[in-house]
Structure 1
Amino acid sequence: MPAGGSSLFSGFRVLGLYSNHVPHALRYHKKHREFYVVTSVGQCFHTYNVNRLGIVAVSNSLSDDISCVAADRMLVFAAAGRLISAFARNKEVVMCYHGHKQEVRLLLPLGDQLISVDGGGDFIVWDVQGGDVYLRLHFDPATFDVSAMMHPSTYLNKVLLGSSQGALQLWNIKTSKLLFTFPGWSAGVTVLQQSPAVDVVGVGTATGRIVIHNIRLDETLMSFTQDWGPISSLAFRTDGPPIVASGSPQGHIAFWDLERRQLLTQHRHAHRTAVAAATFLQGEPLLITNGADNAIKVWIFDQEGGSPRLLRSRQGHSAPPSTIHHHGNDGKNILSAGQDGTLQSFSSVHERFNKNLGHGSINKKKEQKKKKGLTYEALRLPAITAFSSAAARQADWDGIVACHRGCLATTTWNYQRCTMGAHHLQPPAARRTSIATAVDITSCGNFAVIGLSCGRVDVYNLQSGQHRGCYGNEEKAHSGAVRGVATDALNQLTLTAGSDWLLKFWRFKSRKQEEQLKLHSAPASMMLHKDSGMLALALDDFTLLVVDIETRRIVRKFAGHRSNITDMTFSPDGRWLITVAMDCTIRTWDLPSGFLVDCFLVAMAPVGVSLSPTGDFLATAHVDSLGVYLWTNKSLCGPVGLRPLPADYQPVEVTLPGVVVDDSGQEVTSEDADDEYKSAEQLGAELVTLSLLPESRWKSLLHLDVIKRRNKPVAPPAAPAAAPFFLPTLPGLTPRFTSPAVTEQETKSKLLGGLMSHRSEFSSDLESALQSGSFDRPVRLLKDCGPAALSVEITCLTSEGGGASSLPLAFIHMIDSMLSSGRDFDLAQAYLALFLKLHLRTVSQDSVAMAALLRLSSRLEAGWAELRASFDQSLCLLSYAKSALL
């Protein structure tokens, strides 16, 4: 067991975390011409592009939860406790600001300064680059508790402060002087927001009053009052219509018309919790909101009447998930039921495949008459406590059945339509005080088996929703509450476990009991691996039993958990049983050997676990956490040595995984930073690297004569009818063109002057490289030549072409150095092929050159053997993977 914790699983990423109660920060990147929104999630923050709401950056974690975030053109500032950190590239901490004695509550970037306010009344102006304190003020929280802060537009070095007592103060941070005090409106200030008009600001109060005030004239222009409590956020629209949006703690948003001075429209339940922040994009009809319900939403104003509609969103559970299961056989989708009452599907591939199946509601047909007197919350069903899903017939009818807290009826859900289904499954004769406690869907997807707290076990048809019977005499399968139900893979057996300490085996079709096992404690939950026929039972005494449903005997018993076992799952091959408990441990039991082979601790107690059908990811849900955490299975990536752990083994705590940026997301950097990654010239000695030159530069070298013959013109080029205008003329009244002067060198033979009397730069460098042993410069010269020029250079290597006798040997050594270094593998092969085509007969008469060619040939054969082995191994692995998928 490694010192790091688990030998089987390592943290990969967390799904479904997007936002919390901290107001977001908005950035505009001039280089990308795109807006980015920064939201806080615990000890780190995420950066999303507003265009697609795709995550593009995840910051490094801080030591404490982030209390507020702010951003300017270059940096993102985050306050965690008493420490303020500046992040570059939305990831790395480049500067820390120490000096506060209490938790920082407000941040405001202002040019080269950063202003921060803590809970103790300390007001500090920092120098962003150096981290020095530029100005420090102290406000007595009893008389002026700073609750809001903003920089009025065009007011140089001015900051407007709002207090929870209601007064406002305008300060000059350069001269450290109080310029003016506004008495306020007898209510605490919660929000200060600059309007599109200069000198006009919006003030939100704790009594729900919105005041539009001119700070230059100290004159209130207008005011509004919302009935939903304090103002949590304010935003002014800047693309034309004079509208201000106000958020409330109930999650409602109101839109006020500043021209008519009246309420324009309202959007109820925009968020399930308080609206943390609302921001209009500059010059666009888009509003961005975030809240503590773990949601980021973009609203667009393109409807009549000025009401917004939801354009795009990223939202997860607003309350911690309680039950999770993988859906389907590909292992890419995870169904999660949260305490907020919603059923959601998270994709482990990309978040754009996430689905929200919504919130369960009562049967609207039966409650239509009573609906007028019910509120929106009264129509909702309680949270889901247990559910089962099957993908076999989900295209034909509902494939998910769920039990709700305190409800007798179970609901059906449709995964493909992302809605609640048409059926409410309820037994015809049962006590109203009974509730559904366990559910399972058959492998064929046609039937649902549901257990109740009164001991009934009923069977329903999912296509019609009709009741098909129940198990047991007098319509009672157990004398106590049913804790678990399961059906085998062939619909031959039904297994039920109850609080009466009994595990019973029933015939599925006839519903007759065949056998029962007496347990030593009451079972808390049950899980069946249908392929292997192994049934796992978690008991109330914190022990585990594994029953073989073929022999109907207990084959394994495990003890080790020190608290209630909350969930368990099998590996796809049925070899491992993975269990989680309230003792914060995740344990893996090996069924063939009967030993505990892996155990590690997590910070928060896990309440749900599910291993994907492909075995690649383990998903866990935890107490007081809104996300679904993924762990990679190390045994699929390489050999893992599993040994039995001793009875006194003390597990090591493992950090929960964080968010991983999608590969498709564009990384947001500072506008002045433009660092590009440069790949190494050669990755390994056993690998080869191609030249990345176009194929036309080397692929046609052996066929240049054919190409020239094909491109030869049919008729010789004709002289132009008129001379071009740029030819030189002689001075005089009559314009006459001058003929170019013929020099003495040009009168010489072109053959003597071109090939025999002048040596090219490549030939000279190649001959020099033969003495020095470095052939980098000749190779660079050849790479710059086109096919025709390269053919001329290689042709002139021998004495017949005007070259020296040592040049062929030098060229062979150059090819040998290229192959030994592993770089430009394609060019070396092409150059050598052309050289042998042109000079093989000449080189064969030189014994020294032939010896060099033989050594080069052996190097070629050895290198190609290694490459062919790598190719064959990769092709074999690819074929195996494709056959496994099929």
Structure 2
Amino acid sequence: MADGGSSLFSGFRVLGLYSNHVPHALRYHLKHREFYVVTAAGRSFHTFNVNRLGIVAVSNCMSNDITCLAADRMLVFAASGRLVSAFARNKEVVMRYHGHQQDVRLLLPLGDQLISSDSGGDVIVWDVQGGDIYLRLHFDPNTFYVSAMMHPSTYLNKVLLGSSQGALQLWNIKTSKLLFTFKGWLAGVTVLQQSPAVDVVGVGTATGRIIIHNIRLDETLMSFMQDWGPVTSLAFRTDGPPVVASSSPQGHIAFWDLERRQLVTQQRHAHRTAVAAATFLQGEPLLVTNGADNAIKVWIFDQEGGGARLLRSRQGHSAPPTTIRHHGNDGKNILSAGQDGTLQSFSTVHERFNKNLGHGSINRRKEQKKKKGLTYKELCLPAIISFSSAVARQSDWDGIVACHRGRQATTTWNYQRCTMGAHHLQPPGGRRDSVATAVDITSCGNFAVIGSSCGRVDIYNLQSGLHRGCYGDEEKAHSSVVRGVATDTLNQLTLTAGFDWLLKFWRFKTKKQEEQLKLSSAPASMMLHRDSGMLALALDDFTVVVVDIETRRIVRKFAGHHGNINDMTFTPDGRWLVTVAMDCTIRTWDLPSGCLVDCFLVAMAPVGVSLSPTGDFLATAHIDSLGVYLWTNKSLCGPVGLHPLPADYQPAVETLPGVMPVEPEQEVTSEEADNAYQSAEQLGTELVTLSLLPESRWTSLLNLDAVKKRNKPAAPPVAPPTAPFFLPTLPGLTPRFSLPAATEGQSKMLIGSLLQTSEFCSVLEEAGRSGSSVDCPLRLLKDCGPAALSVELTCLTSEGGGANSLLLAFIHMIDSMLASGRDFDLAHAYLALFLRLHLRSLSQDAVAMAALLRLSGRLEVVWAELRASFDQSLCLLSYTKSALL
């Protein structure tokens, strides 16, 4: 029975994905006065600001991978398969264009129109706003396969099309007429780019030839030859120097001087793979490039001789990561080693904290004399297969040790300097055909224990890089390949597991074997949780055994995976063990109960897993994926109902973070709206609820005279002799007109005859007569300011235009508020002002005094309950503080 996915983890986001082979799109925001670069990353695209390369937005996902991008001042256009979509605000789809029968390969925005070309030979001109087809052209792919499109500057309604056969055609898309055909240069056209000069176009070909051509005169002005293969992109510099940049599939960029007609400089290995696109910023000496190596780079031209240097970059792995581990105790940094040979650190907080420790290289001191004869690839070390890190002494010396594929020597790395370390750790007199297979750094950060394929287990000092001995007789700890090494917290024990089915316990200092444990199968990997002393071993029979290093016995055995177990990780408290395997499942085992408590499937097999030391994020790396995926731990956010899963449990597929499925937008129905949670007005009879009004509305009610005196102007305003052109209004949410100021002789007449009963008095009298709810008069009081509230309470008596019955109704309103427990602060503030204004009148009314006595008893009861709750909380707080001290 399949469940609905994981009950313990939910997808959060993906780290380290920046770019792919799709050329980027550059746009300028007029309001922000800033350039933005848009790059594709699978089924969505990312938007970065160029000045900081900080991510601005991530678009919603499309149905398939994005094949091409384009952008204008308002929208971003992305093609996915046969569908073209327009995105607003770099995220939301506002229009979809249906009409292509083949996959769309090229996009070109042109004012209110969008031009798209597919692999079947169809070129469609769309109306951007309405989504209608304005024009459809069809070209035979055998004679004219459209490979590039460009709008020549100042050529109204004109589009220049380039073909893989070499010919160019200039079309008028308004009249649907072919204006001119350029014969070409016997090479397929790969790029068309407008130059800063009118009528001059840059043409890149599949043979590496770059042609600067005048399309009005059909005359070739100059040409260059690139030796690195086809031209993938062209970019003209617009800030002064007449330079054009051309990129190649090898990752190199060449810069050509158009005045001297020669090569100025070149930027080799600008990208590890083909350069997808290169674009100069308008009026700035900056070049933006992206490539299939998952990198975005900004180059600045401030070097002598016209050279460029790297200004800023965002780059991840150009090949899938194989091993990931959290670095540090805060859980904010993830170390990742990829098949591209690089070691990188990704921050879960912000991308500006990412670090690239670089690519491993051979010992430069030893190969200094031979370096001139070695190529770039020969100087690089193979990919890292396993590594270990420690933060205890990383500020003093190297804190990372890594094993490379097929090499005996291990390398050290410095996290703080973001460079490769100073030591290559290699056993003295060891077998040259052996390779390092396992590594671990002690908790103190002083020593590294390294296992090799010949059975050796050596220990090194990380400060000096010197060899400090090896384990076992005849310099062999195992008779076959060492699959895992680990050291405990206090450097008392060293544990090694080998292909000879043995787990051995060694004394760390004396290097003497104390005990060995026979396993049921050969171990594939090993993971030690130092705080709890639990050692997990993944065996070749797809099972996991957990060994207690104190009793040195197998305490748990988990079976359920149907493929090789690639990696394991413990939770910080050592209660759960998370395993990933080639059967595409991520399983969570509960060690106290020995049961499987969570299991879910992913689309791509996970090869690495790491749980943060704080337990908030689970990080996974997958086959054929360049990113590191983060999963949030639901148990930290609220109660999670975990129960043992049956042996025949069929897990459901969980979507990878950042790769959300495309779902049609649906409006929220009334049933869904009714299911939304709404907080109760009052949680319990023994509790009170305060109002949400600001304190200035009720704390100054007893000090209104002092406030008025302090705010009294130095000179009173002089009223105009004639009526104003507008009618003044009273403060409050309900618009009401104020009466004109009366003279002293007219005041008695206004009070006696013209003064009318306020809305509050009328509503309060109606509520007191019928015994209905006091919510309506209370709502009117909440809308009044302090001064208006004082006037309302003053007018309750007959002298103020009211009636003595209103005093009794107001007392009943306060009593009802205290009984319900709501607006507790307003009830006390209103009652205090009421007694200050009318206590003399109330003392002469026996009925009102009886109501006040009942209200006084209710006040005492409420305060007694609150005082008991306060005392209990203070007592518990004091006890907790004393226990902590």
TM category, shorter? 0.7 to 0.9
Aligned residue in 1 for 2:368: 368
| Secondary structure, aligned partner of 1:378 | helix
Aligned residue in 1 for 2:206: 206
| Secondary structure, aligned partner of 1:255 | strand
Q: CA deviation at 1:356?
A: 1.5
8 Å CA contact retained: 1:767, 1:806 = no
| Structure-to-structure mapping, 1:778-789, within 5 angstroms | 788=787
Q: CA deviation at 1:457?
A: 0.6
Amino acid at match of 1:560: G
Aligned residue in 1 for 2:762: 767
Amino acid at match of 2:7: S
| Secondary structure, aligned partner of 1:474 | helix
In structure 1, how many angstroms separate the alpha carbons of the residues matched to 2:776 and 2:753?
A: 23
Aligned residue in 2 for 1:90: 90
Aligned residue in 2 for 1:723: none
Aligned residue in 2 for 1:529: 529
8 Å CA contact retained: 1:456, 1:471 = yes
In structure 2, how many angstroms separate the alpha carbons of the residues matched to 1:699 and 1:288?
A: 60
Unaligned runs of 5+ in 2: 661-675, 684-688, 723-739
Alignment deviations for residues 270-292 of structure 1 (CA, whole Å, 9 cap, x no partner):
22111112222333333222111
| Structure-to-structure mapping, 1:172-183, within 5 angstroms | 172-183=172-183
Q: CA deviation at 1:492?
A: 0.9
Alignment deviations for residues 18-74 of structure 1 (CA, whole Å, 9 cap, x no partner):
111111122333344433222111111122233432223222222211111222333
Aligned residue in 2 for 1:488: 488
**Alpha carbons of structure 1 residues 45 and 770: separation in structure 2 relative to 1, 3 Å:** farther
Aligned residue in 2 for 1:446: 446
Alignment deviations for residues 405-444 of structure 1 (CA, whole Å, 9 cap, x no partner):
1111111112222222221111111012211110001111
Over the matched positions of the two proteins, sequence identity in percent amounts to 79
| Structure-to-structure mapping, 1:262-411, within 5 angstroms | 262-411=262-411
| Secondary structure, aligned partner of 1:336 | strand
8 Å CA contact retained: 2:764, 2:810 = no
| Secondary structure, aligned partner of 1:154 | coil
Q: CA deviation at 1:487?
A: 0.7
- How many residue pairs get aligned? The number is 840
**Alpha carbons of structure 1 residues 70 and 428: separation in structure 2 relative to 1, 3 Å:** same
In structure 1, how many angstroms separate the alpha carbons of the residues matched to 2:793 and 2:596?
A: 70
Amino acid at match of 1:293: D
8 Å CA contact retained: 2:43, 2:659 = no
| TM-score normalised by L of structure 2 | 0.86
Aligned residue in 2 for 1:131: 131
Aligned residue in 2 for 1:164: 164
Aligned residue in 2 for 1:24: 24
In structure 2, how many angstroms separate the alpha carbons of the residues matched to 1:386 and 1:846?
A: 90
**Alpha carbons of structure 1 residues 790 and 134: separation in structure 2 relative to 1, 3 Å:** same
In structure 1, how many angstroms separate the alpha carbons of the residues matched to 2:75 and 2:867?
A: 47
Alignment deviations for residues 57-107 of structure 1 (CA, whole Å, 9 cap, x no partner):
222222211111222333322211112222233333333222222111011
Aligned residue in 1 for 2:681: 685
8 Å CA contact retained: 1:755, 1:796 = no
Amino acid at match of 1:168: L
**Alpha carbons of structure 1 residues 751 and 549: separation in structure 2 relative to 1, 3 Å:** same
Q: CA deviation at 1:570?
A: 1.5
Amino acid at match of 2:360: G
Alignment deviations for residues 701-744 of structure 1 (CA, whole Å, 9 cap, x no partner):
4333334555679xx86999xxxxx999xxxxxxxxxxxxxxx9
8 Å CA contact retained: 1:767, 1:807 = no
Aligned residue in 1 for 2:473: 473
Aligned residue in 2 for 1:234: 234
Aligned residue in 2 for 1:63: 63
**Alpha carbons of structure 1 residues 745 and 249: separation in structure 2 relative to 1, 3 Å:** closer
In structure 2, how many angstroms separate the alpha carbons of the residues matched to 1:757 and 1:52?
A: 73
In structure 1, how many angstroms separate the alpha carbons of the residues matched to 2:816 and 2:72?
A: 53
Amino acid at match of 2:72: D
In structure 1, how many angstroms separate the alpha carbons of the residues matched to 2:236 and 2:863?
A: 68
8 Å CA contact retained: 2:3, 2:650 = no
**Alpha carbons of structure 1 residues 753 and 343: separation in structure 2 relative to 1, 3 Å:** farther
In structure 2, how many angstroms separate the alpha carbons of the residues matched to 1:160 and 1:828?
A: 78
Q: CA deviation at 1:593?
A: 2.4
Aligned residue in 2 for 1:248: 248
Amino acid at match of 1:767: S
Amino acid at match of 1:532: S
**Alpha carbons of structure 1 residues 417 and 276: separation in structure 2 relative to 1, 3 Å:** same
User: Is the deviation greater in 51-60 or in 857-866?
Assistant: 857-866
In structure 2, how many angstroms separate the alpha carbons of the residues matched to 1:859 and 1:150?
A: 82
In structure 1, how many angstroms separate the alpha carbons of the residues matched to 2:639 and 2:191?
A: 58
Q: CA deviation at 1:585?
A: 1.2
**Alpha carbons of structure 1 residues 176 and 506: separation in structure 2 relative to 1, 3 Å:** same
Tell whether 2:189 aligns with 1:189.
yes
In structure 2, how many angstroms separate the alpha carbons of the residues matched to 1:90 and 1:242?
A: 33
Amino acid at match of 2:68: C
| Structure-to-structure mapping, 1:451-850, within 5 angstroms | 451-658=451-658, 685-686=681-682, 699-709=699-709, 748-749=744-745, 751-752=747-748, 758-759=754-755, 763-764=758-759, 766-768=761-763, 771=766, 788=787, 791-805=790-804, 833-842=832-841, 845=845, 847=847
Amino acid at match of 1:627: G
In structure 1, how many angstroms separate the alpha carbons of the residues matched to 2:745 and 2:647?
A: 96
**Alpha carbons of structure 1 residues 718 and 634: separation in structure 2 relative to 1, 3 Å:** closer
In structure 1, how many angstroms separate the alpha carbons of the residues matched to 2:2 and 2:876?
A: 33
Aligned residue in 2 for 1:664: none
Aligned residue in 1 for 2:670: none
8 Å CA contact retained: 2:764, 2:806 = no
Q: CA deviation at 1:354?
A: 1.7
In structure 2, how many angstroms separate the alpha carbons of the residues matched to 1:185 and 1:236?
A: 21
In structure 1, how many angstroms separate the alpha carbons of the residues matched to 2:830 and 2:238?
A: 64
Amino acid at match of 2:93: V
Q: CA deviation at 1:227?
A: 2.3
**Alpha carbons of structure 1 residues 638 and 789: separation in structure 2 relative to 1, 3 Å:** closer
| Secondary structure, aligned partner of 1:244 | strand
Q: CA deviation at 1:517?
A: 1.7
**Alpha carbons of structure 1 residues 794 and 238: separation in structure 2 relative to 1, 3 Å:** farther
**Alpha carbons of structure 1 residues 556 and 833: separation in structure 2 relative to 1, 3 Å:** same
Q: CA deviation at 1:474?
A: 1.2
Tell whether 2:431 aligns with 1:434.
no
| Secondary structure, aligned partner of 1:749 | helix
Tell whether 2:30 aligns with 1:40.
no
| Secondary structure, aligned partner of 1:444 | coil
| TM-score normalised by L of structure 1 | 0.86
User: Is the deviation greater in 431-440 or in 232-241?
Assistant: 232-241
User: Is the deviation greater in 486-495 or in 848-857?
Assistant: 848-857
In structure 2, how many angstroms separate the alpha carbons of the residues matched to 1:608 and 1:229?
A: 37
Alignment deviations for residues 750-776 of structure 1 (CA, whole Å, 9 cap, x no partner):
643676655489x34552576498999
Amino acid at match of 2:433: T
**Alpha carbons of structure 1 residues 48 and 719: separation in structure 2 relative to 1, 3 Å:** closer
In structure 2, how many angstroms separate the alpha carbons of the residues matched to 1:823 and 1:167?
A: 81
Amino acid at match of 2:179: L
8 Å CA contact retained: 1:759, 1:803 = no
8 Å CA contact retained: 1:159, 1:171 = yes
8 Å CA contact retained: 1:252, 1:270 = yes
| Secondary structure, aligned partner of 1:838 | helix
Unaligned runs of 5+ in 1: 661-679, 721-725, 729-743
| Secondary structure, aligned partner of 1:417 | coil
Q: CA deviation at 1:480?
A: 0.9
8 Å CA contact retained: 1:756, 1:801 = no
Q: CA deviation at 1:779?
A: 8.1
Q: CA deviation at 1:813?
A: 8.2
**Alpha carbons of structure 1 residues 223 and 754: separation in structure 2 relative to 1, 3 Å:** farther
In structure 1, how many angstroms separate the alpha carbons of the residues matched to 2:3 and 2:508?
A: 49
Alignment deviations for residues 669-705 of structure 1 (CA, whole Å, 9 cap, x no partner):
xxxxxxxxxxx99865359797676x65654443333
| Secondary structure, aligned partner of 2:704 | helix
Aligned residue in 2 for 1:73: 73
User: Is the deviation greater in 207-216 or in 378-387?
Assistant: 207-216
